[in-house]
Structure 1
């Protein structure tokens, strides 16, 4: 499948091993994971992880009736397919989901495609999600909280976040589509200081990361707020 609009992510595609370190640091408290279940429980249902990247989260959804990952970056497909649990991984994108109509019950989109901002609207992907969702199905978009937590402080200061992370545009856009947004405060917790330093320097300009690290010389922890946008077709 040709995806001419696709642009590889500089973090995950650039260093998938380090991105796995980042994923391993997410939500040790389980707060985010419990909130995801509250929004749309996938147990016994068919779950689509849209923009699954290297497939880190696919094994964690083992209690679904079926798990499908869709990823636009061909360089990540092999890694995603090698994850345990037997999830099916397909090449596609939010605008081009290679599944039949009404074929999934829950869609997760974790930091993938659905970052609305004044020069981009993800409505094409939303219509495609609507097509593949079965009656009563739900999309949950996992997004950054741009207002609460230490990660939000960094995001607002980062040139990398010029088109997301500086205001409430995304939250307002989702509200206009009829979505319900839930705030979840969690954290990154790294096994060692070196891992935190490497990840921050991957995700943010080095000078900005170094300022934060200098101000928190002993930290291996970062507070991290999420927004869960829960959307169901208006039908």
Structure 2
């Protein structure tokens, strides 16, 4: 299936190995993970990881009845399919989910596609998620908090990232779609300074990453705020 509207991610698509290091640093105390379960419990249910990338998170859904990964970047499909035998991984995207109507209980979208802005309206993806969700099913979008946390300060300093959260537009967009938004404060914690440096340099322009690293020479982590946009199918 050709996905003509797919734009490869600048981070994971550019360097999957460094993105793996980033995933390992996320939420060491499980605060975000607990909030995700509270937003939409996937135990004994059918869950879709939409934009699953190389599949790092697929193995964490072991309590689901069925886990399905959807990934538009064909370069990442083999890695995702090799993560766990429990998950099925398909080539697709937010606008093109290769599943039947009303066949899914929970959809997670983690930093994938759903970045509403004045230049981009993700309504097509929301409509597709609504199609595959059963009545009462939930889409949970994991997004960056641009206000709270040290990572948010970096986002505001980086012009491309700052544009995504300008004036609270994403939260306003989700509110108009009858979603609720929950703020979650967690952190990144790396095993080594070199890992932190590699990830920051992947995520941000060199001057932004370099300035933060210069001002925090001993740090192995930073506080990280998330926003969970939770949409329920009527």
Shorter chain as denominator, the TM-score bin is over 0.9
What is the match of residue 189 of structure 2?
189
> CA separation in 2, counterparts of 1:160 and 1:119?
13
What is the match of residue 129 of structure 2?
129
Kindly indicate whether the alpha-carbon contact (under 8 Å) linking 1:152 and 1:165 is maintained by their aligned counterparts in 2: no
Q: How many residues align?
A: 234
Compute the displacement of 1:228 (Å). Answer: 0.4
DSSP-derived class of the 1:168 partner: helix
> CA separation in 1, counterparts of 2:151 and 2:165?
10
DSSP-derived class of the 2:143 partner: strand
Compute the displacement of 1:160 (Å). Answer: 2.5
> CA separation in 2, counterparts of 1:52 and 1:163?
24
> CA separation in 2, counterparts of 1:34 and 1:72?
27
Kindly indicate whether the alpha-carbon contact (under 8 Å) linking 1:155 and 1:166 is maintained by their aligned counterparts in 2: no
What is the match of residue 92 of structure 2?
92
> CA separation in 1, counterparts of 2:183 and 2:111?
15
DSSP-derived class of the 2:80 partner: helix
What is the match of residue 82 of structure 2?
82
What is the match of residue 44 of structure 2?
44
Deviation by residue 1:144-163 (Cα, 9 ceiling, x = unmatched): 00100010000011023153
Q: CA RMSD in A?
A: 0.9
1:29 aligns with 2:29: yes
Question: 5+ unaligned residues in a row in structure 2: which ranges?
Answer: none
> CA separation in 1, counterparts of 2:165 and 2:194?
26
DSSP-derived class of the 2:108 partner: strand
Compute the displacement of 1:165 (Å). Answer: 3.0
1:171 aligns with 2:171: yes
Q: Which runs of 4+ in 1 moved over 3 A?
A: none
Compute the displacement of 1:135 (Å). Answer: 1.6
Compute the displacement of 1:30 (Å). Answer: 0.5
DSSP-derived class of the 2:183 partner: strand
Deviation by residue 1:125-149 (Cα, 9 ceiling, x = unmatched): 0000000001210000000001000
Compute the displacement of 1:7 (Å). Answer: 1.0
What is the match of residue 113 of structure 2?
113
TM-score where L is the length of structure 2: 0.98
Range with bigger deviation, 161-170 or 8-17: 161-170
Aligned pairs for 1:206-221 (under 5 A) are 206-221=206-221
What is the match of residue 200 of structure 1?
200
Kindly indicate whether the alpha-carbon contact (under 8 Å) linking 2:155 and 2:162 is maintained by their aligned counterparts in 1: no
TM-score where L is the length of structure 1: 0.98
